[in-house]
Amino acid sequence: MFIAGTSWTSTQQVEALIGIATVAWLWDTVDKIRGALRKADSEGGRIIAMPSSWLAQAVATIHWTATAAPAVIHVFLLTTNGMTKPPGYAAMDLPEVEVLHKVDDNPIDAMNKVKTAAAIGILLSFLVQQWILNTLGKQFHFIGPREKAQIVSDGPYGYVRHPLYSLLTAQAVLCIFAYWNWLPVYSLIILLISFWYKIPIEEQLILDDANVGKAYAEYKKKVPYRIIPGFW
């Protein structure tokens, strides 16, 4: 492949695809979240309860930052280095896994196929994100219940209580395979710790709400899993 008179290797082409998928993912997420917040603010009313701890209030910012940081770093480093990982960043790559050789006899081609599949997965996650936000509608919030609170239990909320967190977790895993680097691994760890800390606080705020607390307690019995069906 020739771009601006320069021949790109297959690996550079795959990295370009990953970069496009990553930028599209970040842009789409910001756009959808802003739209969901506007809709919720206008139709669902204001947030009526927030946790008292500063850490509990900041944890949403922490997990969104952990989600975006590896993606921004990856795209920046590769676009400023001709779609090739700089030595310092490449030194953080994950080790080769023998099972990848079953994908292709050539280790480089095998890795490129895995990365391409992960990039496609990132793009397809847009559809899941839209499904979740459409289902949640005017109830969307980062941590506190709204004035016109209602329990959403259909669609993805019939499988887990926090499908948006499930999606962020899945996207972090896809980034691990797309970037093949330790940065998204660290991001995933921060995400899971953030969710472990945030979910009980978020749910307690809903349980304490006089209008929907009892209904949410029943919903928790109906849908026992927070993020991963059958596991957590």
Instruction: Count the alpha carbons within 13 Å of 26 in the hemisphere toward its beta carbon.
Output: 18
What pLDDT score does 197 carry? 92
Give me the amino acid identity at 187: S
Determine whether 222 is exposed, middle or buried from the number of CB atoms within 10 Å of its CB (0-12, 13-18, 19+): exposed
**Calpha distance 24→203 (Å, rounded):** 31
Question: What per-residue confidence (pLDDT) applies to 103?
Answer: 64
CATH architecture classification, 2-222: Up-down Bundle (1.20)
Please give the pLDDT value at position 88: 93
Task: Decide: helix, strand or coil at residue 3.
Answer: strand
Residues 6+ apart with CB under 8 A from 111: 96, 100, 180
* 3-class DSSP assignment, residue 47: strand
State residue 41's pLDDT score: 82
Q: How many residues does the chain have?
A: 232
Q: Where on the phi/psi map is residue 6: left (φ > 0), alpha (ψ -120 to 50), or beta?
A: beta
Strand, helix or coil at 93? Answer: strand
Please tell me the predicted confidence (pLDDT) of residue 5.
47
Q: Which residue has the tokens 């970037």?
A: 179
Alpha carbons within 13 angstroms on the beta-carbon side of residue 35 total 12
Mean pLDDT by 10 residues, the chain (232 residues): 63 93 93 86 80 82 90 94 92 81 74 92 93 86 77 91 94 95 95 93 88 90 92 86
Q: According to the 3-state scheme, what is the secondary structure of 108-141?
A: HHHHHHHHHHHHHHHHHHHHHHHHHHHHHHHHCC
pLDDT of residue 2: 46
- Residue 10: the pLDDT is 86
Say what the pLDDT of residue 99 is: 67
